[in-house]
Amino acid sequence: MNDRAVAVLDQYDLNVNSTRKARGAIIAETDKGIVSLWEYTGKPERLLLCKAVCDRMEESGFCSIDNLIPNKEEALFATDTDGKNYVVKKYVEGRECDVTDGRESRYIIGEIAKLHRIMEFGEIPENQGAEPFIRDFSKREAELNRVRSFIRKQAKKGEFELNFLKEYSYFEKLAKEASDLLDESCLLRLSKMVKERGMYCHGECNQHNILINGKKIAATHFEKCCMDIQIRDLYLFLRKILEKNNWSVPLGLSILSEYEKNKPLNMDEKRYLYARLLYPERYWKIANAYLNKRKSLPPRRQLEKLDALLAIEADRIEFLRNLEKDLL
């Protein structure tokens, strides 16, 4: 058995029979069922909200939840001798959705819509006083400007730097269009709606965390759940699906239709979704990685990422044209 896992699990009211490694975790067979052990690097106080949300989800009976298990001291994390924090959770079965399969993608997005209906919890004591955090793009705009300025100052520019600057005006225009859609009045209305209805989102909604478990889903890793507009979750999963399917117009629109069958969107939510999809997310990520990972990311790899982005940009814009007609 893994000695570190056993040392941490000793802090829990569990008798461990065996352990095995899994992706990013250790799975333990115990006298109280199967549990999973994960390193936790977030703020310990965030686990209070995570636990409260998971408890409410379990009470709903809608899906399987990898709920946190308190230790013998009723704490939601345990600290190893090396000073690292760990959490122990209920183990749930499930497989990742095949995001290249249209039928599976529609199914999982429909289930996420049902999940979102349940996650209108109202006020949660563990989150009392928190304000909804509806993102705009101002911080990212500043980051893009910083990368452009950094590249311009370089005396020697490679192919990546030259191509990045060549495309900058185009992507800057898209970023401004997206930002203009989310004017202050729209963001205020969304923030008010989120607070009044007590809307929570998962925070990391993707095929790794929302699993298919027979005729139900399993929702895992709620560590980044928060009071926020739930379109944030929809956007993250939808963008992943679209990127894997060359921004297919029929698939994308049918997926959105499936979501709205279970949870209709108002006009502000539609505008927010469109703005998030319009914003050049991958271009910003490439810029961010260039600035922060230049030493670890070879120039050839940076260029490959930029070329891959440009290769599908026409498909993305075609999808957005159709989405604008359908949504707005």
Residue 55, helix vs strand vs coil: helix
Check the CA dihedral 166-170-173-178 and report its sign: negative
Tokens 């810029």 sit at which residue? 287
Residue 137, helix vs strand vs coil: coil
Pairing label, strands 216-219, 64-65: parallel
The DSSP string of 178-234 is HHHHS-HHHHHHHHHHHHHHTBEE-SS-STTTEEEETTEEEE---TT-EES-THHHH
Low-confidence ranges of the chain (pLDDT < 70): 1-3, 128-136, 295
Give the model's pLDDT for residue 137. Answer: 85
For residue 10, the one-letter residue type is D
| CA–CA separation, 152 and 154 (whole Å) | 6
Residues near 328 by Cβ (< 8 Å), separated by ≥ 6?
A: 267, 270, 271, 274
CA geometry: angle 10, 16, 21, nearest 5 deg: 100
Cα 245 to chain center, whole Å? 19
Three-state secondary structure string covering 237-272: HHHHHHHHCCCCHHHHHHHHHHHHHHCCCCHHHHHH
Check the CA dihedral 75-66-86-232 and report its sign: negative
Token duo for residue 150 = 């950094």
Residue 286, helix vs strand vs coil: helix
Question: Residue 177 is inside which H or E element, if any?
Answer: helix 159-181
How many CA within 13 A on the CB side of residue 70? Answer: 8
Give the model's pLDDT for residue 108. Answer: 97
| CA–CA separation, 190 and 121 (whole Å) | 17
Tell whether domain 3-92 is in CATH 3.30.200.20: yes
CA geometry: angle 51, 116, 47, nearest 5 deg: 15
CA-based max dimension of the chain? 65
Give the model's pLDDT for residue 132. Answer: 61
What are the extents of the domains in the chain? 3-92
Token duo for residue 33 = 């069922």
Helices 249-262 and 231-244 pack at an angle, to 10 degrees, of: 150
